[in-house]
A = this chain, B = another copy of it.
Amino acid sequence: MKARVHVMLKTGVLDPQGEAVRHALGSLGFDGVEGVRQGKVIELDLAETDKAKAEETVNQMCEKLLANTVIESYSVEIS
């Protein structure tokens, strides 16, 4: 199965990378960009074939390694 994990900084946590992108877009002449947040996307190929088990495993991976849950939130899509 394939899993896709999105890891984003939580709302309220300063995102300097996103701010840098917003400024750069402004400099390039792209107006009307009101906010930018940048995060990570991680695509996993899993040997597991059971969707529920795969989701459970990927959630554990996020808690233990992929996301820093103090400042980041994550979402998991299994396909």
Interface set of A (CB-CB < 8 Å, partner B): 6, 8, 18, 21, 24-25, 28, 30-48, 57, 60-61, 64-66
The answer to whether A38 and B40 touch (CB under 8 A), given A21-B65, A30-B57, A33-B45, is yes
Cβ-defined contact, B40 with A8, below 8 A: no
**Inter-subunit contact B40/A41 (CB<8 Å):** yes
CB pair A21–B66 under 8 Å, yes or no, is yes
**What's the Cα separation between A46 and B46 when bound, in Å?**
36
CA of A65 to CA of B17 in the docked complex: distance in angstroms? 13
Find the B residue at minimum CB distance from A38. B42
* Bound CA–CA A46/B35 (angstroms): 7
Contact check, A37 vs B43: say whether CB atoms are below 8 A apart. Answer: yes
